[in-house]
Amino acid sequence: MIRKFTVGLIVCVFALFLNAAEGVVHAVTSPGFVFSPANWVGDQGRDGEKFHQTWNPGAYFRFTWESQSKDEVPVLLLDASTYNGSFPPPVLAACLDGVWSPNLGSAKEIEIQGVNRAGKHTLTVYVKKTSQVKRWGTPGVSGSNVVRITGIKLVEGSRALDAKSDKNWALIVGDSITEGCGAYELEAYSHLVGQALRSQDYEYAISACGWSGWINRGDNPPGDVPGWYVISNSTKPEDGTYDDQNSRWNKIDSCHSLLDSRGRYSAYGATGQEPSLIMINYGTNDSLHRSNPDDVRASIFQSLGAMRKAAPEAQIVYIIPFGQYKAADLYQMIDLYKKANPADKKISIIDLGLDTARALTVKNGYWGGLHPNPRGHADFASRIIVQLPLAR
């Protein structure tokens, strides 16, 4: 009898230990999750119960919870089934209560160190770097080079805290410079501007990839990411043939629209979730890859009208490419749009000037070259931030 009791006690203790070791999984539907707007899609359109995924470098999510444990090790859960060995998996970075884990591979389970007290905790995870291949996908088929989050595993008794809100949000669009090439350690101007926006109670989305432009395709040539607003056969800014399938201004990836049921930009798919601010930095690749100049001008002009319909109240800010690529065309097309739409007072230009461009013409110069180095990104971000027209 004593022996049976002892064996039973051991089994119970082992079961309790196993349960504690396994923890409790909080799915992506948990109220503790907040995903960066306009970056993530799910297994059910813009939403889903199984996973949320993104291909965007700079995308992020936060999870907030409360725990009585002082030595908890949260475990991030990913679906890594899309990684087939043909590309290096994405690299993540995490900040847990101010403690950073800078180089996290996209494994099925990722332990996050940093909890050293009981109470409220906040984990923020960023997509730090992905290879510029197989990210966009094809019509009806997801890209394989994605970060796919399925949940987070915490100790028994941890309680997710509702972190959702209806904050202002900004859409930051661009090419490899905005993606962060030359400054992969979360040093890109886009990330730094995004962090400044967070301090002003904004969420933000970085939507950028190398090689991309107004009409130039993005990612490693021939590239599967469409140009921003693709026009062909134009003779003047108002004409030409628009190619919606090969444009991404209104899409998150190959399978998902960025627009809601009313044709407006949407943070998470519902109506009434339009951005307060849109920043766009394109023109470099259209110059370097010799895109048809008339089609580029038509794209700049016509995409402004399309974005305004998708975000009627947003401040739209054009950043003149740091190397001054297509600067004259940008000024001319924006001025043309303003003359045709004099009531639209929410369009502005940020131009860091010819001195910045000259500094970048020196390969491996003080600010870097075509792709600014971290010093350059930090300097440019500081000058952009103070010029942003923010909703208060």
136 with 241, same domain: the answer is: no
Contact 245, 229 (CB under 8 A): no
271 with 136, same domain: the answer is: no
Q: Which amino acid is at 148?
A: R
Residue 126: the pLDDT is 98
**7 occurs within a structural domain:** no
Torsional class of 87: left (φ above 0), alpha (ψ -120 to 50), beta (otherwise): beta
Confidence check: pLDDT of 24 > 60: yes
Domain stops at, among 125, 143, 160: 160
* Spatial separation of the C-alpha atoms in residues 246 and 243, rounded to whole Å: 6
Residue 7: the pLDDT is 36
Confidence check: pLDDT of 176 > 70: yes
124 with 55, same domain: the answer is: yes
198 with 307, same domain: the answer is: yes
**What is the total count of domains within the chain?**
2
Mean pLDDT of the chain, nearest integer: 92
The residue range of the domain holding 135 is 23-160
Please count the CA atoms within 13 angstroms of the CA of 304 that sit on its side-chain side: 30
* Spatial separation of the C-alpha atoms in residues 208 and 281, rounded to whole Å: 9
**11 occurs within a structural domain:** no
* pLDDT tens figures, 295-306: 999 999 999 999
Q: Which two tokens stand for residue 200?
A: 């002003």
147 with 212, same domain: the answer is: no
315, 252, 279, 94: which is closest to 189 by C-alpha?
Answer: 279
Domain stops at, among 160, 181, 201: 160
238 with 344, same domain: the answer is: yes
Q: Are strands 99-105 and 91-96 parallel, antiparallel or unpaired?
A: antiparallel
51 with 181, same domain: the answer is: no
**366 occurs within a structural domain:** yes
191 with 142, same domain: the answer is: no
∠ Cα 204 210 212 (to 5°): 90
The band of 392, judged by pLDDT with boundaries at 50, 70 and 90, is low
**12 occurs within a structural domain:** no
148 with 30, same domain: the answer is: yes
Domain stops at, among 121, 136, 160: 160
CATH of the domain at 242: 3.40.50.1110
87 with 179, same domain: the answer is: no
Contact 53, 41 (CB under 8 A): yes
Confidence check: pLDDT of 148 > 80: yes
CATH of the domain at 124: 2.60.120.260
